[in-house]
A and B are shown apart, each in its own frame.
Chain A
């Protein structure tokens, strides 16, 4: 029978191959799904893997979708590498968007371009504030950051809802729950004409670079991660686990808040009840599939965006249901988690033995 046997050390091969295998498995399951629905699997795969990169406009849209995912995932990777499980990035995203929106609403026709900086800064600070609540509760009260950050997601949604239904509602908007459309001057500058890609993408890529340097080339980054990998050793070496907790949560909160600001002052252009788009949760998958490594996460952010856009196209062009995106994303993560076992374990054929579990 097949038995799982622990490897003496983590397999380097499978560290890289596992996400690829997971993707292959997901694709195979996807093909089976398409066929079960009576749709041409090749066309289905096309929607997901070819159409989103076919034209420069399509590539632009891919980047528009990937930017928030990547930004949030970069922050989350710092968290997860430190063994701090921030599941509430979605809430930090929303509060970042709210704060950014609040600053953007202050602008009028005569405001200068500097407001963009203020908007982004507000987003970062907002996200940090929200994550800070989780950090405080964990630091002071030892409350599980997983549950607290998760609960705060719903509270954040309610804060947004309260503002757009109430004090921040557009007075000229026929009482629809949305804020005024932000003045043009607050718009995050676009990278090029004809596409919605913003400088946010550049920020994300630069951020990935910084993260790489931080994690793998600085003492601080090392200290941060040791706390996650071996807390006892970290204490022994004098690395503060308190500091690691706060750095982790504030970084990921700030990143999520920045993503929120980029979305709200970018493609959306106002505050609506539909700002929470699930990016905070999807970014967790991006982080995992990207192996918590900056380069990996760039690739996995693009992959997840393909799933989003592919799902949309599969719906409008092939008549497949929209829910297919969620199915694929979930499947990918499942397969990845299963394949990851192969990093730490290997499969072996063993002669049947009695006993053992």
Chain B
């Protein structure tokens, strides 16, 4: 029984990375912008965060550095895509390729660095409850932060005026523009905010999850986060659940190996992607569903003059 409690704990940890990144992408996509560069962005943020902690010893500065790196790269992407009207998918891909190479480049000097002892967290009292305690209450603050982020986003998107404007921009930029809203600036703000969150997720990987630096260490989590946003039909709460689901797959895989169950590991690894395709097919076939769920202007550039 205890091993299941620990499995849950590990899943929460693994899912947090995906959740934070996917929530950032969700903000982007609600405003109508797809950032395929998530993987490269997260890698640059990971090395930024790691380097910051190596030099200052402070984890929170590391997270800030990661968010900063993510925001800067997202801003460059945003200017290209929103103001210069470049193709969103190609630009995102370029960011991804560039980010992978650049982070490896910058990170060469940090490959052998070791971070100071990682702190242990536990919620007082709650952590001591048998079974439930180790499963849920011995996590890094950011794990709980991700859950709070979901609540904050739900409030922001569906209860606040700014969130409404953001969604309007994503659904019909022309209408929002006609109403006098600075569509492009709003989109850029969304892209930068989303980039900062992806950056936070990237920094979490290199500072907390696997506290070392190795090139390519994000290992596809950026792409999974992109899939996750779609899989969750652009709803924050579903993103969190989906993140735990996807994050849990790897831990489940190893757990099954450990107890001697032989499922081809490749099948388990492919499951999140197959699941996303199925969901995509299901939600897209009904034009009403897709209109209700997917931001209508997703991927399309907006020109105020046109």
Contact = CB atoms under 8 A, between A and B. Distances in A.
Interface of A: 4, 6, 85, 87, 137, 140-144, 146-148, 150-152, 154-155, 158-159, 161-162, 165-166, 281, 284-285, 288, 321-331, 333-334, 337-338, 340-341, 344-345, 357
B: contact size bracket = 35 or more
Given A162-B266, A330-B101, A334-B98, 19 more contacts: A6-B305, A85-B89, A141-B280, A142-B290, A143-B277, A143-B280, A144-B280, A151-B273, A154-B273, A155-B277, A161-B266, A284-B93, A285-B94, A323-B101, A323-B105, A326-B98, A330-B96, A357-B184, A357-B304
Contacts of A285: 93-94, 97
B191 to A, nearest CB: 15
Give the one of A140, A155, A159 with max B CB within 10 A: A155
Chain A to chain B: the 8 pairs with minimum beta-carbon distance, closest first: A330-B98, A326-B101, A323-B104, A333-B94, A327-B101, A158-B270, A337-B86, A330-B97
B276 to A, nearest CB: 5
Give the one of A6, A329, A357 with max B CB within 10 A: A357
B55 interface: no
B59 interface: no
Interface in B37-85: 40, 80, 83-85
Contacts of A288: 90
A334 B91 CA distance: 7
A146 B294 CA distance: 14
Given A142-B290, A143-B281, A323-B100, A155 B274 contact: yes
B84 A4 contact: yes
Contacts of A284: 90, 93
A5 B200 CA distance: 37
A329 B101 contact: yes
Contacts of A144: 230, 280, 284
B276 A147 contact: yes
A331 B100 CA distance: 12
A143 B278 CA distance: 10
B227 A147 contact: yes
A24 B75 CA distance: 24
A284 B93 CA distance: 9
Nearest to B98: A330
B143 interface: no
B80 A150 contact: no
Contacts of A333: 90-91, 93-94, 97-98
Contacts of B277: 137, 143, 148, 151-152, 155
A323 B216 CA distance: 10
Contacts of A150: 223, 226-227
Interface string B264-283: 10110110011011001110
21 contacts: A87-B36, A141-B284, A143-B280, A155-B274, A158-B270, A162-B264, A284-B93, A323-B100, A323-B103, A324-B101, A325-B101, A327-B98, A327-B102, A329-B101, A330-B97, A331-B98, A334-B91, A337-B86, A340-B86, A345-B84, A357-B182
Interface string B167-205: 000000000000000111100000000000000000000
B281 A141 contact: yes
A334 B304 contact: no
Given A158-B266, A331-B98, A338-B84, A326 B104 contact: yes
B275 to A, nearest CB: 9
B87 interface: yes
Contacts of B282: 141
A206 B120 CA distance: 63
Contacts of A321: 104-105, 108
A345 to B, nearest CB: 8
Given A137-B281, A338-B80, A326 B267 contact: no
Given A142-B290, A325-B101, A137 B280 contact: yes
A326 B104 CA distance: 9
B220 interface: yes
B287 interface: yes
Contact of B80 (A148, A337, A344): A337
A333 B91 CA distance: 8
A288 B93 CA distance: 12
A150 B272 CA distance: 13
A323 B101 CA distance: 5
Contacts of B80: 334, 337-338
B285 interface: yes
Contact of A323 (B185, B215, B220, B280): B215
A7 to B, nearest CB: 12
Nearest to B87: A337
A158 B267 contact: yes
B95 interface: yes
B134 interface: no
B15 interface: no
Contacts of A159: 266, 270
Nearest to B79: A338
A333 B101 CA distance: 13
A158 B269 contact: yes
A334 B284 contact: no
A328 B284 CA distance: 37
B284 A155 contact: no
Contacts of B276: 147, 151
A344 B303 CA distance: 12
Given A333-B94, A334-B80, A341 B223 contact: no
B264 A166 contact: yes
A230 B226 CA distance: 29
B299 to A, nearest CB: 8
Nearest to B304: A357
A17 to B, nearest CB: 16
